Each structure stands twice: as C-alpha cells, then as structure tokens.
Amino acid sequence: EDQVTQSPEALRLQEGESSSLNCSYTVSGLRGLFWYRQDPGKGPEFLFTLYSAGEEKEKERLKATLTKKESFLHITAPKPEDSATYLCAVQVYSGGSNYKLTFGKGTLLTVNP
C-alpha cells in the first residue's frame, strides 16, 4: 500500500528562521511527487512537481528536493505570509489509464513576525 508521511505535523518559526519540511514515501513506481500549499478555507495551490531522485526546484523562498525515499521542502528566510499547510502527494500508476494521487496529512507552518 502506498504511504506518504509528512513531518513535523506543525512547525512554528520566527520570521527569517530557515527550516525544512519532510515528506517520506513508500510507493511502487513513483511517477511524480507534488508539493502544494493550502491556506485556510481554500483549495490546495500547486507549488512543484519532482520526477526523479536528485531533482531540485525553486520558487522564491522555497526549494524542493527529492531522493528515492523522501522529499524536502526547504524554506529560506520565511515571512509571515508563508504561513500555511504544506501538502505532499505522490502519483503512481494504478492500472488502465489511471494515475492515483495519494496525499500526506500535511505540515502546518506558522511564521511569526
């Protein structure tokens, strides 16, 4: 069974205090690993897709990396507006023309001014 585990469940940072969020996964045949940001009362907002071990992608203060077992979302010098829940999801082939997307429970990030 595909499993996605995110840690920590919650993280409090001071503005400017860099840190990393972890997403570990156990799947057969990873087709893509997705990172999303979700604000309260909103749908998930797409951030990155990573496809293979060693790949890295950056967007503003965020950088996502991927190994064969886990992904990290590094946040450099965060600002209060980076406060949100960050979700990780893995896509695997599930038969026919189907590709299933399985999510972790997310990390709630709070950045204090």
Q: Is 88 exposed, middle or buried (0-12, 13-18, 19+ CB in 10 A)?
A: buried
* Side chain identity at residue 47, one-letter code: L
Our finding on whether 28 is near another protein (CB under 8 A) is no
Query: CA–CA separation, 55 vs 64, rounded Å?
Result: 8
User: Looking at 21, 23, 25, 34, which residue binds another protein (CB under 8 A)?
Assistant: 34
Site for another protein in 38-57 (CB under 8 A): 42-46, 49, 51
Site residues, another protein (CB under 8 A): 31-32, 34, 36, 42-46, 49, 51, 87, 89, 91, 93-106
